[in-house]
Structure 1
Amino acid sequence: MGNVLRLLGKCCNPSPQEEGQSLGPHGVTYPTPGVAVLAHDLFHFDNTGEVPDGLSRHVVSSKKAQANWYKKLVGAWKEAKPPPKSPEAASKLIIETLRRHRKEDVEGVLAFYGLPATDAITGVGQGLPLSLPGVKLQFTTLPVDTKDVADGDTITVYVDTKEARESAQVPDSVRNAVTRRSKELAKKNYAEANALQKQIFKAGYRVSNGPNGDILARKYRIRLRGIDAPESSMPYGAEAKEALRNLVGGNSLEIHVYEEDQYGRSVADVYCNGIFVQEFMLKKGLAWHYVAYDRRPQFAKWEKEAQVTRIGLWASSDPEKPWEWRKDNRRGV
């Protein structure tokens, strides 16, 4: 943690020319004290596991997610050569380390330290990117029902149609069915209301109860990008499904869709409270790196770590690969 210690002396000793400037969230002046305070907070987290007070007022994710960010930031800071000394360099480190997390959270962390959210990201002052390269669609889901986890790499999720993009795409037939269903329920005509609910569901939507009334949500079937979990009837298939259920159940997910597969599923990277779901499954030894469709080196690294420790399916000396299992079963072998 030597990089952090070298910056601690700046934290509480602003230079004379900084006197009288506006104060940041830690009661120190901009611009360089923000870097020093970040260093101080990372040093403090590395020793205590505590995130700084007041951060929650700037971000939207939980304390658990915040701790995950700071763990990553500590690692990135230790590896940085040289360590960040300017606001721009500190911003770049934060953005690159947390780039897969929610945009609102990354912006909130930067604002918390009074760090810029423009040039350090793209070099042309365009601000935070709305999505990563290759991402075609990005959204946050409603809390996931555990019954909607099909197996270790497939989840059905729902998105509130109050979001502007979703609202513009709801078919008139669905809107009309929702209105008619409400009227039938008011008249206690439950048979007709249930028939309309089935019509809505068949169109790829559902109506559920929310704290402020009914919620119309659009359905997405998500295939976790870059991994292949054991099929349900394979060894560790049940364990993979249960692990994924325990992770995402009851939580809203951040979804980055890259493409649609031949079965109409959205192939996506998925994040749950700051946890990269594919990383979680690979490190638990409950999925293979799907090399035929994804060559990301970190996936290979996480799979290798699980193999070395013989965790999960790697307890077997020669576990059957799910893509080979599917091929054999299609042939009736």
Structure 2
Amino acid sequence: MITPGTAYNCFSKFIFDGDTLTLDFRGADLRVRLRWIDTPEAQRSGINSTDPRILKHWEWAQKAKTALMELVAGKPIILIPIEKDQYDRWVCDCYLEKISVATNIQILQCKSGMGVSFVPFNRFAYNIRELAVLKGIITETASANRKKLGLWSDPDLILPNEFKKLTLS
């Protein structure tokens, strides 16, 4: 049984992409989506393109996935589930070893330039921890952008939310 807002100890088991992973939760698989960030979309089976911008986006997706793998491999993760999304994943805040802005996985992905902020507009009652995470995500995304780190180094970058609007076949 998972209770939203409660901290749980887990370990990473499988990384789907730069913002989605499976955790070992008490011996069971738990699919998790990192809250308030977005990373480039991976190429889906049967979808191809010759457009260099799309090919580059898929390359960035692989780099974001690799960055998340390197970040969490073999390390204890503290999971704070918030809610389930439309794909039946738990949307969560995740931390390495302890709950701190410095160890928040979403912030670390944005700081490295492998994620972008995905700011919520539908909720207005944040606790102190959530405000610190949200501020950290926005701050580190802006900093990585200014420094041209990671995906921000690509002048023709298609942001994840823009990419999702494209019709690919």
TM-score, length-scaled by structure 1: 0.39
C-alpha distance in 2 between matches for 1:281 and 1:149: 14
* Of 64, 74, 80, the match for 1:256: 80
* Of 137, 151, 158, the match for 1:320: 158
* Of 144, 147, 152, the match for 1:306: 144
- The two structures, once aligned, show a CA RMSD in angstroms of 2.1
Unpaired runs of 5+ residues, structure 1, are 1-134, 161-216
Q: Is the aligned partner of 1:228 residue 2:42?
A: no
Q: Which residue of 1 aligns with 2:17?
A: 151
Unpaired runs of 5+ residues, structure 2, are 44-57, 124-130
Taking the TM superposition and a 5 Å limit, the aligned residue runs for 1:8-87 are: none
* Of 71, 74, 77, the match for 1:247: 71
C-alpha distance in 1 between matches for 2:72 and 2:135: 25
- Encode CA deviations 1:221-249: one digit per residue, 9 max, x unaligned: 10000000111232411111111101111
Q: How many residues align?
A: 139
Q: Which residue of 1 aligns with 2:117?
A: 289
C-alpha distance in 2 between matches for 1:297 and 1:312: 20
Task: After the TM superposition, list the runs of 4 or more consecutive aligned residues in structure 1 that deviate by more than 3 angstroms.
Answer: 292-295
The alignment partner of 1:285 has SS state of: coil
Identity %: 29
How far 1:282 moved relative to its partner? Answer: 0.3
- Given that 1:221 and 1:266 are in contact with CA atoms closer than 8 Å, whether structure 2 keeps it comes out as yes
Q: Which has the higher contact order (CA 8 A, sep 6+)?
A: 2
- Encode CA deviations 1:290-328: one digit per residue, 9 max, x unaligned: 124688333211111101110100112241111221221
Letter in 2 for 1:307: N
- Encode CA deviations 1:183-238: one digit per residue, 9 max, x unaligned: xxxxxxxxxxxxxxxxxxxxxxxxxxxxxxxxxx2221100000001112324111
From the two aligned structures, give the one with the greater strand fraction.
Answer: 2
C-alpha distance in 2 between matches for 1:313 and 1:292: 22
